Structure 1
Amino acid sequence: MPHSGAAAVETTTSNLSNSDLNFSIRRRASRAEADSENDDVSPVGDSNNIVNGGGDRKTVKDGGDGVAFKYVYRPSAPAHRRVKESPLSSDAIFKQSHAGLFNLCIVILVAVNSRLIIENLMKYGWLIRAGFWFSSRSLRDWPLLLCCLSLPVFPLAAYVVEKLAKWKHISEPVVVFLHFIITTTSVLYPVFVILRCDSAVLSGVTLMLFSCVVWLKLVSYAHTSHDMRSLAQSFEKGDASPSSLIEENNYDVNLKSLAYFMVAPTLCYQPSYPRTERVRKGWVARQLLKLIIFTGFMGFIIEQYINPIVRNSQHPLKGNLLYAVERILKLSVPNLYVWLCMFYCFFHLWLNILAELLRFGDREFYKDWWNAQTVEEYWRMWNMPVHKWMVRHLYFPCLRNGIPKGVAILIAFFVSAIFHELCIAVPCHIFKLWAFIGIMLQVPLVLITNYLLKKFQNSMVGNMIFWFIFSILGQPMCLLLYYHDVMNRKGRID
């Protein structure tokens, strides 16, 4: 019995004239050759895939279209038709996907780190403890808990001030003064409580972060309300024409809007926000599970790796320089893992969970900061809620008041440095200004990386400097400095 594919060819041939058959073969051959120039044809040995008349591949049985191969894949057909670069050459390496190599790096990373974890457990055993992070007095930090629970008093006070301002019971200078008192007290009050109580460091850091968030939100609320009030008054007097800005942000003192703003994952106040239609409960449950897993992994790295390295180190600015460098380099890898886990847990998981529960629509909490070409670009993409606050309530107000751009950027870094110092120095009960100096040193790094980007026209130079300064040098150095200063204050080490 003849092969079904051969029978199909024979039947097709019998229904066509010789001229039609030759035309069909030449047409297929020309299209297959053209397609071979684009590297879209199958290897010669693969006789199951041939080019169809429409340019698409079509799978047929062996012999079904074997006539086409007779005229296409000949020894005399040229195998090299145009100039091409090797995939890993400098001219072609960034023009194609490297997903396979990326997967290989992940596999190697998992394998290597798994071996290191097993080796660490075999050598040192299970080192998880409460110790420095959760001491026995953590459960007795009730003054800090009460302070945290009393923070909503300050937004309520700001609401009362705005309500009085709307009713025109107080003048604008009085409104500004009262908001200044409220916002300043919202930060100084937690600082006073922490300094009076010898609390656990983690408890103090948590309270300071909450108080700083409240301060930023209250400043945005007061500044935005003042601006909307000014626009409304100008419109009433006829000094300004109606605009979409006035229509969208109609001045109204609403306690519900303020309450939503205080819990929403944003630092910039506005009367209404883009909202999603519903809460995805299954999605929230999955994100919560990820948050628990990555938080546990972060705690494991801290207790099993970072704490032993830090305890067995010396003050980085005292003693042997080479030894200090070795400790910093050894600390850099686990510190980098913790930093990346912290970013993923807070900026991606927690803020998205909060946004989903509140149906908050704008979830651009970060951009691709890992591709930052300069240090300035990193700070613009790393923390979008703070960046938007800085641009809206600090940077552009400085420019509108005639302050040069460079000075405005310096002021933004100065404010950021103050809050970084408060969040670390106050819970540690030491004021060595390490965090403040570390943030202010970003200013010359901004100038250096901007210069290198313009000079070499290469995004990788600034990106590598950013990773080295933040991951290899800056954060491990800061961690060692604060740890040893805290331990020296408590008299635990010499």
Structure 2
Amino acid sequence: MQESLLSSSSGYSNYRGILNWCVVMLVLSNARLFLENLIKYGILVDPIQVVSLFLKDPYSWPSLCLVIVANVFVLAALHTERCLAAGSISENVGSIIHACNLLTILCFPALVVLMVSSVTPVGAVFALSIYTIIFLKLFSFRDVNKWCRARGRAKALRVRPASGLKKVNGEVVPSGVCYPANLTYKDMYYFLFAPTLCYELNFPRSPRIRKRFLLRRLFEMLFFIQLLVGLIQQWMVPTIQNSMKPFRDMDYSRIIERLLKLAVPNHLIWLIFFYWFFHSSLNVLAEVMQFGDREFYRDWWNSESVTYFWQNWNIPVHKWCLRHFYKPMIKRGVSKWTAQTAVFLASAFFHEYLVSVPLKMFRLWAFMGMMAQIPLAWLVGRFLRGNYGNAAVWISLIIGQPIAVLMYVHDYYVLNYEGSQ
């Protein structure tokens, strides 16, 4: 009996019950906030109102027209590559044409958004996002074809699926296209709609379309987009509107209270949007196109450093930056730190491009907030490890970037609504 008492210990390694308690408390606290919102404001969800976010005038569709016009730049890139392959223009001339085409892809839609009053902010974000994707894709298209010409026309870049690719839907079926047989309309538009930013002559392909898998992803798309609209209208909009007065009066205690109150729904909406876009939507697109590489994200939620998060939450962009930006700079003798800083600068530029142009305003603090990720990544990687590093990453996600986005929205409301009253 004495031996049994002595062998007992008060140290436990299984804390599942405490974790479950934390989850239950988190759910209950947020349920209380949501119920409080319903009691205070009533039901604000109005799906029809979403249409007004894209259109001011039912007879004027500037954002859609911008997307259609983007085909001009796509065809210009394709025909430039055809001329280069045929030898009718020199490499220098082709480089100049590509550079002008890529520069116009960024400048033209921005000028239209800034000059045309009928373009709504949401419609502008949609159009500029399409143009940004086209810019990255055509940049990759230009580089890969240039590499093909440098290596030789007949045998250039005949690739097979890399062993690191995630193969789904059975065995990945490689095709056998060689340069310049890839310079066709079919090949170009397949690449434009494919869920990748990096061009290849031979993409990994799946042998068939799985109908059940496709239907599940379609159901997720429809369900989560409705949930996003409901949460934004019911939870986000009234909270943002109520945060204007503290910002205007510079009431710092109320500002902090409002920002913390906005951080939770904002982050929840961000997580739902992430799943809707990177898992449901991209898998639907990949399944319809029988695209074999389904690695759209990795386990960023386990990130123990900010750098790991940025490398794994958006794999298509990460692969593009690594292939067409980071590695070329390293090969030219640029230091790793300088190359990483350049990648952050490019990321900050495109984030501001997609936000400041539609809202027709620029805030230096938002750009500097993006660049603050560099010292934050160094500090977390240098001083924090394991669970502490993971907690720091989650805090930066919940408190950092969502606050910047919300402050931008607040500034837009102040400039466009309170100034007119």
TM-score, normalised with respect to structure 1: 0.74
After the TM superposition, list the runs of 4 or more consecutive aligned residues in structure 1 that deviate by more than 6 angstroms.
78-85, 100-104, 246-249
2:144 to 204, 224, 230: 224
Partners of 2:73 and 2:54 in 1: CA distance: 30
CA deviation after TM superposition for structure 1 residue 85, in Å = 8.6
Partners of 1:299 and 1:391 in 2: CA distance: 34
1:88 to 3, 6, 13: 13
| 1:185 to 2:104 alignment | yes
Q: Kindly tell me: are residues 370 and 472 of structure 1, through their superposed partners in 2, closer, same or farther at Cα, counting changes over 3 Å?
A: same
| 1:487 to 2:410 alignment | no
| 1:202 to 2:122 alignment | yes
Q: Deviations over 1:296-342 (max 9, x none)?
A: 11111111111111111136586021111111101011011100011
| Percent of aligned pairs sharing the same letter | 34
| 1:309 to 2:232 alignment | no
| 1:158 to 2:85 alignment | no
Partners of 2:375 and 2:58 in 1: CA distance: 43
1:254 to 174, 183, 197: 183
Match of 1:466 in 2: 393
CA deviation after TM superposition for structure 1 residue 114, in Å = 4.0
Structure 2 unpaired stretches of 5+:
161-174
Q: State the one-letter code of the partner of 2:126.
A: T
Match of 1:275 in 2: 205
Contact 1:452 1:461 in 2 (8 A): no
Deviates more, 1:427-436 or 1:290-299: 427-436
Match of 1:21 in 2: none
Contact 1:335 1:475 in 2 (8 A): yes
CA deviation after TM superposition for structure 1 residue 447, in Å = 1.0
Partners of 2:8 and 2:148 in 1: CA distance: 62
CA deviation after TM superposition for structure 1 residue 131, in Å = 7.9
Partners of 1:376 and 1:160 in 2: CA distance: 39
Match of 1:340 in 2: 271
CA deviation after TM superposition for structure 1 residue 79, in Å = 7.2
1:211 to 106, 128, 131: 131
Q: Kindly tell me: are residues 203 and 470 of structure 1, through their superposed partners in 2, closer, same or farther at Cα, counting changes over 3 Å?
A: same
CA deviation after TM superposition for structure 1 residue 474, in Å = 3.0
Contact 1:316 1:480 in 2 (8 A): no
Match of 1:290 in 2: 220
1:439 to 370, 380, 387: 370
Q: Kindly tell me: are residues 168 and 272 of structure 1, through their superposed partners in 2, closer, same or farther at Cα, counting changes over 3 Å?
A: same
Tell me the SS of whatever aligns to 2:418: coil
CA deviation after TM superposition for structure 1 residue 446, in Å = 1.2
Partners of 2:18 and 2:315 in 1: CA distance: 31
Q: Deviations over 1:198-228 (max 9, x none)?
A: 2221111101110000000000000111111
Q: Kindly tell me: are residues 414 and 480 of structure 1, through their superposed partners in 2, closer, same or farther at Cα, counting changes over 3 Å?
A: same
Q: Kindly tell me: are residues 357 and 105 of structure 1, through their superposed partners in 2, closer, same or farther at Cα, counting changes over 3 Å?
A: farther
Q: Kindly tell me: are residues 121 and 275 of structure 1, through their superposed partners in 2, closer, same or farther at Cα, counting changes over 3 Å?
A: same
Partners of 1:172 and 1:105 in 2: CA distance: 62
Q: State the one-letter code of the partner of 1:251.
A: Y
Tell me the SS of whatever aligns to 1:137: coil
Match of 2:168 in 1: none
2:350 to 399, 405, 419: 419
Q: Kindly tell me: are residues 173 and 227 of structure 1, through their superposed partners in 2, closer, same or farther at Cα, counting changes over 3 Å?
A: same
Partners of 2:345 and 2:248 in 1: CA distance: 25
Larger RCO: Structure 1 or Structure 2 (Cα < 8 Å, ≥ 6 residues apart)?
Answer: 2
Partners of 1:108 and 1:143 in 2: CA distance: 47
Q: State the one-letter code of the partner of 1:464.
A: A
Match of 1:265 in 2: 195
Partners of 1:267 and 1:482 in 2: CA distance: 28
Q: State the one-letter code of the partner of 1:283.
A: F
RMSD: 2.9
Q: State the one-letter code of the partner of 1:185.
A: T
Partners of 2:300 and 2:218 in 1: CA distance: 24
Tell me the SS of whatever aligns to 2:56: helix
Partners of 1:178 and 1:277 in 2: CA distance: 38
Q: State the one-letter code of the partner of 1:485.
A: D
Q: Deviations over 1:426-477 (max 9, x none)?
A: 1101112344222211111111111114xxxx3122222221122124312x
Partners of 1:215 and 1:105 in 2: CA distance: 45
Partners of 2:239 and 2:123 in 1: CA distance: 23
Contact 1:355 1:363 in 2 (8 A): yes
Count residues with an aligned counterpart. Answer: 400
Deviates more, 1:279-288 or 1:248-257: 248-257
CA deviation after TM superposition for structure 1 residue 368, in Å = 0.7
Match of 1:69 in 2: none
Tell me the SS of whatever aligns to 1:254: coil
Q: State the one-letter code of the partner of 2:332.
A: N
Tell me the SS of whatever aligns to 1:265: coil
Q: Deviations over 1:376-428 (max 9, x none)?
A: 11100010000000000000000011111100001101111111001001110
The structure having more radius of gyration, on CA atoms, is 1
1:381 to 286, 309, 312: 312
Tell me the SS of whatever aligns to 2:77: helix
CA deviation after TM superposition for structure 1 residue 276, in Å = 1.0
**Counterparts of residues 42-57 of structure 1 (less than 5 Å):** none
1:124 to 41, 47, 56: 41
Q: State the one-letter code of the partner of 2:394.
A: W
Partners of 1:141 and 1:243 in 2: CA distance: 45
Contact 2:54 2:123 in 1 (8 A): no
